[in-house]
Amino acid sequence: MARQAQTSTAILGALSIGPLTGYEIRQAITSVLGHFWHESFGQIYPCLAELAADGLVETTPGDRPKSSRYQITAAGRERLRALLAEPPVPQAPRNGVLLRTFFGDAMAPDDLGRMLTSVTAESQARLHSYAAIRSSMTEEPGYAEHGRYWEATLRAGELAAQAQLTWATETTAALVPER
Amino acid sequence: MARQAQTSTAILGALSIGPLTGYEIRQAITSVLGHFWHESFGQIYPCLAELAADGLVETTPGDRPKSSRYQITAAGRERLRALLAEPPVPQAPRNGVLLRTFFGDAMAPDDLGRMLTSVTAESQARLHSYAAIRSSMTEEPGYAEHGRYWEATLRAGELAAQAQLTWATETTAALVPER
DNA sequence: GGGCACATGTAAGCTGTTACATGATTAA
DNA sequence: TTAATCATGTAACAGCTTACATGTGCCC
């Protein structure tokens, strides 16, 4: 998958649901895709300019002066479909928690315990936030058409967080001396 | 956590188990830590040179001409302990599978099905490879001291792969029309 | 009028990958 | 002898983050 293609996919995808400003795209990616995707402004604005130059998005005419929204074009939808068809780019794994666990013998026992405690807390926090999303999701605009797909990604988050919680609990019991 | 710190941690960790050449470090990271960590040569060699300059590793005198192994020093072990105590650097999430799933409505149904099929196959392959590792692990040198920690990381891999398999199966049933 | 959220952009710099260059050793 | 593997390194580049600069509109 080519240069910038990943960012383009996220942006075109966001715009396929409705027109947004660059700022709103960032917000949408952070709040909605946040548990499995990330983009910074430094990526979004240049990419958006490129997409506009290629005729894949266009600015809506009216609106307030500084805040014209970007809208996906027919060519943009076609490109999005093509991008989605490409195999996902695998992310090189860099799991700091497992790296530390693997070399746990070289760690101070307290440090290992602290780390596992925070993993536990983080997993539980994620499970809670997913529960909140699940109960509010049905009222989001676009739920009728897209909801089944949103639910699938949410389910992935729940399963991953649950697995992480199980691991942290088991591992604390196995490796952290009590008191 | 500072520059290169993550790579230093992995390298010092590997050398804390035994002396290795740069090439062997790469091999060890790929084969042993491969399911949760990644380093390329372009990272390893410059980092190793820095570590040697700082007196955290040193080359063993003898051996074959071009293949002197690096050995961790006392200062290196101290640094490793300090690095392991730092909180893990969180990896920005970029899950291409979930990105595609979220925008699944804009995808050709066949493409979604193909993607989920390959996720299923990949999860199963990972489960098989973990089973193989589990049965051979006890004979590895260092298992007696470090084995409990190695098992913990292996367990994390198993739980994650199992969760992924569950997700792919459920999602295929929910979103991919049969035949 | 002061602060905050909205909004857009750029430049510097770090991290990490890829491709290339080089050569030794070993097995077929 | 030729191919594969071992072994070390570098240079170019892609990708991404961070910090900064700049300005608008709204609410208290």
- Give the pLDDT band (50/70/90) at residue B168: very high
Burial label, B148 (beta-carbon count in 10 A; 0-12, 13-18, 19+): middle
Name the closest residue on chain A to residue B6, using Cα atoms.
Answer: A96
Taking residues B80-105, what's their average pLDDT?
95
Give the tens place of pLDDT for each residue, A52-100: 999 999 998 655 555 689 999 999 999 999 999 999 999 999 999 999 9
User: B14-29 as b/e, with b when 16 or more CB fall inside 10 Å?
Assistant: bbbbebbbbebbbebb
Nearest residue (CA) to C1' of C10 = A42
What are the residue ranges in chain A where pLDDT is below 50? none
Chain D footprint positions (protein CB, under 7 Å): 6-12, 14-20, 23-26
Q: Where are the alpha helices (DSSP H) in B54-142?
A: 74-85, 96-102, 109-136
- Cα–Cα distance between A86 and A63 in angstroms, integer? 35
Q: Does A167 contact B at CB distance below 8 Å?
A: yes
Q: What is the mean pLDDT of chain B?
A: 93
Q: How far is the CA of B52 from the C1' of D9 (A)?
A: 15
Q: What is the DSSP string of B133-163?
A: HHHHGGGSTTHHHHHHHHHHHHHHHHHHHHH
Q: How far is the CA of A132 from the C1' of D25 (A)?
A: 32
Taking residues B149-163, what's their average pLDDT?
98
pTM of the model: 0.95
User: A141-152 as b/e, with b when 16 or more CB fall inside 10 Å?
Assistant: eeeeebeebbbb
- Give the pLDDT band (50/70/90) at residue B67: low
Report the residue count for chain A: 179
- Cα–Cα distance between A9 and A90 in angstroms, integer? 15
Tokens of B157: 């891999």
- Cα–Cα distance between B39 and B23 in angstroms, integer? 11
Instruction: Say what the pLDDT of residue A64 is.
Output: 52
Question: Do B103 and A84 make contact, defined as CB atoms within 8 angstroms?
Answer: yes
Question: Do A149 and B175 make contact, defined as CB atoms within 8 angstroms?
Answer: yes
Instruction: Say what the pLDDT of residue A141 is.
Output: 85
Please report the sign of the dihedral spanned by the C-alpha atoms of residue A131, residue A135, residue A138, residue A140: negative
> Measured between CB atoms, which of A104, A118, A149 is closest to B101?
A149
Instruction: Say what the pLDDT of residue A178 is.
Output: 84
DSSP class of B1: -
Cβ of B41 near strand C (distance < 7 A): yes
Question: Do A99 and B166 make contact, defined as CB atoms within 8 angstroms?
Answer: no
Give the tens place of pLDDT for each residue, B16-59: 999 999 999 999 999 999 999 999 999 999 999 999 999 999 99
- Taking the CA of residue A53 and the nearest CA in chain B, the distance in Å comes to 23
3-class state of residue A59 by DSSP? strand
